[in-house]
Amino acid sequence: MTVQSILKRKGADVVTIKQDAGIESAAHLMRASNIAALVVTNGDQVVGMLANRDIVDGLSRHGSRLSALRVADLMRLQFVTASPQDGVKHVMALMTRHRATHIPVFASNRLAGIVSMGDIVKHRLEELELEANVLRDAYIAVH
């Protein structure tokens, strides 16, 4: 199975935020959208990622000054990406190796979606359930 199969189900919509937006705006957008990460943009370019843990880290480092910061001050400049053709197991390995909970998906150098750890787990559980059902049915047919 590929990342594309996940995006077909969940959709390709990605919530983005401009790098010069305030951290408070980012937190409100995450809460309103019920998401834990934002793709950060500068014009049409993706320039970073901001996850809820980046905001928590910023709070521990900057304290009450956090609300005066911009997204660019806390965003991660280096982040892993995937393509729609990447396998789900490959993306699982990337998430584990890089401790990433969200990975933006690019097709032809354009943002095509985002997959979260939850998306991957849900997809994998569905695969395992299907596999278990097939094995159960095969066992019943033999006996």
Find the CATH number of the domain harbouring 75.
Answer: 3.10.580.10
| pLDDT tens figures, 11-22 | 889 999 999 999
Question: What does DSSP assign to residue 22?
Answer: B
- Residue 71, judged by CB atoms within 10 A of its CB (0-12, 13-18, 19+), counts as buried
The whole-number pLDDT of residue 132 equals 78
- Expressed as residue numbers, the domain containing 34 is 3-142
The angle at the Cα of 123, spanning 119 to 51, to the nearest 5 degrees, equals 15
Number of domains in the chain: 1
What mean pLDDT comes out for the span 90-119?
94
